[in-house]
Chain A
Amino acid sequence: MLYAKKKTGLVFFPAFDWAIDPTHPEREERLLYTQDQVFEEGLFDIEGLTEFKPDPVTINDVNRIHFCVPDAWKVMTESHFISAGGAKTIGMAVLDKKVECGFALVRPPGHHAMRVVHGARGFCNVNIEAIMIEFLRAAYGIGKVAIVDTDCHHGDGTQDIYWHDPNTLFISIHQDGRTLYPGSGFTNELGGPNAVGTTLNIPLPPNTSDEGFLYAIENVVLPILDDFKPDIIINSAGQDNHYSDPITNMNFSARGYAELTSLLQADIAVLEGGYSIEGALPYVNTGIILAMAGLDYSNIREPDYDPDRIRQSSVVTAQIAEIGKIVLENWRNREKIEKQMKQGLKGKYSDRTRRIYYDTDGISEIQKERICICKDCGGALRIETSADTGAQALAVHIPIDACKICRNEGQRWFEEANSKDFHRAYLQNRPEDKYLEKNLSHK
């Protein structure tokens, strides 16, 4: 019999009856062969490995994070409630100390979903990690959180959500945005003026293999985590860095993923992408589960695994060392960079305007964002959003640790919203865990 060295929780929710559309990579079949492998390997029989049934999240859980336009029911399906609920269930099991660590092997994924949601982008509607984290903050009072996103695509949704939060360290390791969707995630994206350095990006060149990933984890991610000292570490465990993935260009292996998991020692892992449903996922997931449970994974191997065929070039190795150096430098100089950034600002706000494209649903959005520059909290945040669906809304976020000034500012913004400019106004009052909505259209 097999005994887990570390008590591990697992939510397996393959959503065998849900797809974006029948031939979409995010379809019913995606975790079928993973299920076969997990069953055949008898992973659920491991003593100390517990499978939990996911409890769907509530509307409040979603509204804590997202401004869904017009509302959560319109941008989510039942499957999203359950998938986010899977992450939340694992988070609770870990914080209730039922298990030491856990893995939400769920779909659909979430790391491309930003704070404002008009529809789906990058196969994601709502950010399942963020929903879990903010639930855990509200229910268990956890403070500092680190998210390490190892999906092949830049976790731009998670980055957006935590852009202004100095208490959440977001590190994304991904294929260079010049060669892959969503085209962002460069080393100079470091977070907003109140949170410089708690967003970090490690863009890796195409054809990076195990060596390069593990180098970045050991030499860049782990030292930064040591420095940041999070209460809890989350791994957005996308599996599309695999050498057989059909929509990316990396050369990571199942054993590499297991080693990464073992190095990172995340408290909670949440499945993100990964579309090599036969060649990679069955083996990668088996490897991750064994590694989380502290068990031997050295005999996990894809049928066509050939390390020589996928070995990275010396050029790639050198590039990765260079990128790692830049990221570490940015991290060490984050206070200096923040100071410089703030010096360049006039007044008490920082503004930016962005265009966001929802590729999965074909929606275009323009956001005008304003954050209060604040040294005492994450800063009140307002987003004026308009989309080509015709929706126009004001979204106001008061962070959980907000100072009095920022609380008042956020309240004022929300109250002053009028029907001339917006159809709807939303308020996320995190200190009071209250989520309000005003319907301003007089139709």
Chain B
Amino acid sequence: MIIGLDVGGTHTDVVLLDNHGLVNEIKVYTDSTDLFSTVLNGLRKITQDINPKLIKRVVLSTTLTTNFIVQGTLPEVGMIVSSGPGIDPMLFKTNGHYYPVSGSIDHRGRRVEAIDHDEVKSIGSKLRADGVRQLGIVGKFSARNPSHELEIRRILKGRFDDFFLGHRVSGNLNFQRRIATTYLNAAVYPIHKHFFQAVKKSLDQQGLKVPIHILKADGGTMNFESSIHFPGQTILSGPAASVMGATAYAPAEEDILVFDIGGTTTDMAILIDRAPLLDPVGIELGKYKTLIRALKTRSIGIGGDSVVRFKAGEIEIGPDRAGYAMAYGGTRPTPTDALAVMGKMTDCDRDKARKGLEPIASEMGISIEEAAQKIFDRTCCLILKAADKMVDQINSKPVYTVHELQEGYQVKPKKILVLGGPAPYFAEHLEKISEYTVTVIPSWKVANAIGAALARTTCEVTLFADTERGILTAPEEKFKKNISRDFTRDQAVQQAYELLKQKALQIGASSEDLEMEILEDQLFNMVRGFQTTGRNIRIKAQVKPGLIQRYKDVVEKLSLQSDS
């Protein structure tokens, strides 16, 4: 049996699945000031009367790291960045203890200027004196050559508790994002580690000695041990949980839009042939732009509890929320109240909802019923408009080859899968006013927890070959090898797959879930003078986000269960 747990803003959903489908689903209240109790409470309740030996896997999706980052209550860490020429690195300053140092590496990983040891030592002393225990070290182009980052760590070895090196966070180029990502990893490290160690200890005491997997923003999982130094990957796993829940019900070989309609926001994502579309660069959270792999999602401030206003002849929905809908004891009219007036939602106070819509109706000079219809219609329209915009944006993403520009894949979804609290009420109308076929996901209330439970382990590797310099390297994987002049693209692809497999297994994948694919495969002949002097090969490979193989049948059974 497996457990999936997804901490949400107000509720935490927990599911227990076995080979026959959903065994149990529960909701517990989220206490954002004590997530530890929330998680334990959820796990305790779902495992009641269950033999702990039967549980083989636990996947957790929490808001722990996200909350700390958004609230800006991160502990102090030190940052040393080596930039060289280019944009002033002070513009990328993440925190107080942030120090640019000398040293420079170019685009091919060649050293241009050495590290100044005395400079690094004196900054190290200053940071220590200030009580800094965690240190992030980031160099420009370290994804091509990490030697300067390693050198700085060597100089400061033993003087800090933990080091976080920029080249380990991603194989992608983007100095500013590498700095932000490394900083976030260093800053949330103690919180993340402490939290999950406590969860693990507590589960051990209950006799639940299973590996804990943690859901990442890309809709994949990693085991707790691997997450310790990369806790940043766990931010914004909530939306990923819902999207992975939706993949369970998505038809193959089609483009699908997923809407997670909540109280405050509607989150959107896209599935192509049951795999979620990933963001090409990385998560943006608050003021931080990162290299953290994530699903391509769009969040708009329109949900069931968004405040409704009538302004300058137009109905406005959100983006703010002022507690519950009036039908549930709130103070401001919302789309939920419109649904209540229309008689679609019944387990609430319809009179209060009517009262809420009354001022808007009278301002519009129409009946309350008509106003309710108009508000609901407007809400659906705005959500669809945002979806169109997201699809447009994806299709207008620049490409860099003639081939891609001519033949590049265009996303054209014809179906929408909806989940989240008010999902069933919206589905019908969304379909009515659009060209889409709209379906409510079975088990739509806990699809997010099911998504977490069934998500497979994912990861990515970036490999770079430069036969002129005789170097094959994947700094993120601590991999470097000398190669000969005749090293080929096929060999590079082979090597990338090998590294990817190793990495996936190490971070918790089972061998049957290694659905690997090549994301990027480029070869350039390097010509100097009029002579070909080498090849420049770039390969990026990933384990595709998706659901674990062993529970493939579960998905079908889930759909059947919810029909009955």
A275-306 interface bits toward B, Cβ cutoff 8 Å, 1 = contact, 0 = none: 00010001100100010000110011111000
Query: Of A38-46, A214-222, A348-356, A371-379, which binds chain B?
Result: A38-46
A16 proximity list for chain B (CB < 8 A): 400-401, 522, 524
B284 nearest in chain A by CB position: A45
- Is the pair B405, A54 in contact by a Cβ cutoff of 8 Å? yes
A296-B88 in contact given A22-B525, A23-B527, A27-B527 (Cβ < 8 Å): yes
A41-B87 in contact given A16-B400, A78-B402 (Cβ < 8 Å): yes
CA distance A13 to B108 in the complex (A): 21
Query: Which residues of B in the span 79-95 have a Cβ within 8 Å of any Cβ on A?
Result: 85-88, 91
Query: Of A29-37, A311-319, A391-399, which binds chain B?
Result: A29-37
- Is the pair A18, B402 in contact by a Cβ cutoff of 8 Å? yes
- Is the pair A299, B112 in contact by a Cβ cutoff of 8 Å? no
- Is the pair A40, B398 in contact by a Cβ cutoff of 8 Å? no
CA distance A41 to B400 in the complex (A): 18
Point out which of B175, B396, B405 has the most chain A C-beta atoms below 10 A from its C-beta.
Answer: B405
B112 proximity list for chain A (CB < 8 A): 303
- Is the pair B108, A35 in contact by a Cβ cutoff of 8 Å? no
CA distance A32 to B85 in the complex (A): 19
A39-B398 in contact given A278-B108, A301-B85 (Cβ < 8 Å): no
A33 partner, pick from B87, B107, B529, B530, beta carbons under 8 A = B107
A432 sits at the interface (CB 8 A): no
B432 proximity list for chain A (CB < 8 A): none
CA distance A296 to B88 in the complex (A): 8
Query: Which residues of B in the span 528-548 have a Cβ within 8 Å of any Cβ on A?
Result: 529-532, 536
A17-B403 in contact given A2-B91, A299-B87, A300-B85 (Cβ < 8 Å): yes
B86 partner, pick from A51, A53, A299, beta carbons under 8 A = A299
Chain B contact patch, size range: 35 or more
B396 nearest in chain A by CB position: A53
A82 sits at the interface (CB 8 A): yes
B176 nearest in chain A by CB position: A42
- Is the pair B91, A23 in contact by a Cβ cutoff of 8 Å? no
A205 sits at the interface (CB 8 A): no
- Is the pair A303, B398 in contact by a Cβ cutoff of 8 Å? no
B526 proximity list for chain A (CB < 8 A): 29
- Is the pair B107, A82 in contact by a Cβ cutoff of 8 Å? no
B397 sits at the interface (CB 8 A): yes
B406 sits at the interface (CB 8 A): yes
A35 nearest in chain B by CB position: B400
- Is the pair A40, B175 in contact by a Cβ cutoff of 8 Å? yes
Query: Which residues of A in the span 1-31 have a Cβ within 8 Å of any Cβ on B?
Result: 1-2, 11-18, 22-23, 27-29
B88 proximity list for chain A (CB < 8 A): 296, 299
B403-420 interface bits toward A, Cβ cutoff 8 Å, 1 = contact, 0 = none: 101100000000000000
A40-B396 in contact given A17-B401, A286-B86 (Cβ < 8 Å): no
B174 sits at the interface (CB 8 A): yes
A422 sits at the interface (CB 8 A): no
CA distance A2 to B399 in the complex (A): 24
Interface size on A, residues (CB 8 A): 46
A82-B527 in contact given A39-B173, A45-B289 (Cβ < 8 Å): no
A70 proximity list for chain B (CB < 8 A): none
A305 nearest in chain B by CB position: B85
A53 partner, pick from B108, B175, B399, B527, beta carbons under 8 A = B399
- Is the pair B177, A42 in contact by a Cβ cutoff of 8 Å? yes
- Is the pair A36, B173 in contact by a Cβ cutoff of 8 Å? yes
A330 sits at the interface (CB 8 A): no
CA distance A22 to B397 in the complex (A): 28
- Is the pair B402, A299 in contact by a Cβ cutoff of 8 Å? no
B439 sits at the interface (CB 8 A): no
- Is the pair B399, A1 in contact by a Cβ cutoff of 8 Å? no
B405 partner, pick from A27, A33, A82, A301, beta carbons under 8 A = A82
Point out which of A32, A54, A282, A303 has the most chain B C-beta atoms below 10 A from its C-beta.
Answer: A303
- Is the pair B107, A23 in contact by a Cβ cutoff of 8 Å? no
B491-527 interface bits toward A, Cβ cutoff 8 Å, 1 = contact, 0 = none: 0000000000000000000000000000000101111
CA distance A136 to B527 in the complex (A): 38
Q: Determine how close the nearest CB of chain B comes to the CB of A279; give it in whole angstroms.
A: 10
- Is the pair B402, A79 in contact by a Cβ cutoff of 8 Å? yes
- Is the pair A23, B532 in contact by a Cβ cutoff of 8 Å? yes
Point out which of A11, A16, A246 has the most chain B C-beta atoms below 10 A from its C-beta.
Answer: A16
Q: Determine how close the nearest CB of chain B comes to the CB of A283; give it in whole angstroms.
A: 8
- Is the pair A303, B401 in contact by a Cβ cutoff of 8 Å? no
B444 sits at the interface (CB 8 A): no
B177 proximity list for chain A (CB < 8 A): 42, 45
A182 proximity list for chain B (CB < 8 A): none
CA distance A56 to B405 in the complex (A): 9
A52 sits at the interface (CB 8 A): yes
Point out which of A14, A28, A282, A295 has the most chain B C-beta atoms below 10 A from its C-beta.
Answer: A28
- Is the pair B402, A17 in contact by a Cβ cutoff of 8 Å? yes
- Is the pair B174, A303 in contact by a Cβ cutoff of 8 Å? no
CA distance A36 to B177 in the complex (A): 14
B525 nearest in chain A by CB position: A22
- Is the pair A299, B175 in contact by a Cβ cutoff of 8 Å? no
A23-B402 in contact given A32-B536, A41-B87 (Cβ < 8 Å): no
- Is the pair B140, A53 in contact by a Cβ cutoff of 8 Å? no
A390-419 interface bits toward B, Cβ cutoff 8 Å, 1 = contact, 0 = none: 000000000000000000000000000000
CA distance A297 to B4 in the complex (A): 50
- Is the pair B398, A12 in contact by a Cβ cutoff of 8 Å? yes
B134 sits at the interface (CB 8 A): no
Q: Determine how close the nearest CB of chain B comes to the CB of A133; give it in whole angstroms.
A: 23
B522 proximity list for chain A (CB < 8 A): 16
- Is the pair A1, B287 in contact by a Cβ cutoff of 8 Å? yes
CA distance A53 to B396 in the complex (A): 6
B87 partner, pick from A35, A39, A53, A290, beta carbons under 8 A = A290
CA distance A246 to B531 in the complex (A): 13
B141 sits at the interface (CB 8 A): yes
B473 sits at the interface (CB 8 A): no
B176 proximity list for chain A (CB < 8 A): 41-42, 45
- Is the pair A39, B174 in contact by a Cβ cutoff of 8 Å? yes
- Is the pair A82, B402 in contact by a Cβ cutoff of 8 Å? yes
CA distance A277 to B522 in the complex (A): 18
A13 proximity list for chain B (CB < 8 A): 398, 400, 405
A51 nearest in chain B by CB position: B398
Q: Determine how close the nearest CB of chain A comes to the CB of B279; give it in whole angstroms.
A: 13
A11 proximity list for chain B (CB < 8 A): 398
CA distance A429 to B92 in the complex (A): 54
A36-B402 in contact given A23-B527, A29-B536, A286-B86 (Cβ < 8 Å): no
Q: Which 6 A-B pairs have the closest CB atoms?
A: A301-B85, A42-B176, A36-B107, A39-B173, A40-B173, A17-B401
7 contacts between A and B (CB under 8 A): A15-B400, A37-B107, A41-B86, A53-B397, A53-B405, A296-B88, A300-B86
